[in-house]
Amino acid sequence: DVKVTQSSRYLVKRTGEKVFLECVQDMDHENMFWYRQDPGLGLRLIYFSYDVKMKEKGDIPEGYSVSREKKERFSLILESASTNQTSMYLCASRGQGDTIYFGEGSWLTVV
């Protein structure tokens, strides 16, 4: 089975801190995604990557950046965390097929 692992399940960070959310997939997938999920707003695409070192903005990239130095790892970076970035963050991957595989999510609280 495909496994998408998000390194941190729950994080509490202070406003202005730099935050790294790490995601690793074990199926050699080309495509990886970062979403955030908020009540009533559903999943919103922040960034996605279709290859190593390649990235494309989603709908809400402001305040975020990403890094994909290795195929299996896709990191989401909050350069200066703000309280409106408190959310659940979901990493996902997709290979040649059409199915998207999600991690378990990272709950980030910015205080």
Partner 1 sequence: SQKIEQNSEALNIQEGKTATLTCNYTNYSPAYLQWYRQDPGRGPVFLLLIRENEKEKRKERLKVTFDTTLKQSLFHITASQPADSATYLCALGAGDNFNKFYFGSGTKLNVKP
Positions in the binding site for partner 1 (CB under 8 A): 4, 31, 33, 35, 40-43, 45, 48, 50, 56, 58-59, 90, 92, 94, 98-105
In 3D, which of 63, 86, 64 has the Cα closest to residue 49?
64
Structure tokens at 8: 């941190």
CB nearer to partner 1: pick between 28 and 56: 56
CB nearer to partner 1: pick between 54 and 111: 54
| CA distance readout (Å), 82 to 25, 44, 64 | 28, 18, 11
CB nearer to partner 1: pick between 85 and 106: 106
To partner 1, the closest distance from the beta carbon of 16 in angstroms equals: 28
To partner 1, the closest distance from the beta carbon of 6 in angstroms equals: 8
To partner 1, the closest distance from the beta carbon of 68 in angstroms equals: 14
CB nearer to partner 1: pick between 20 and 50: 50
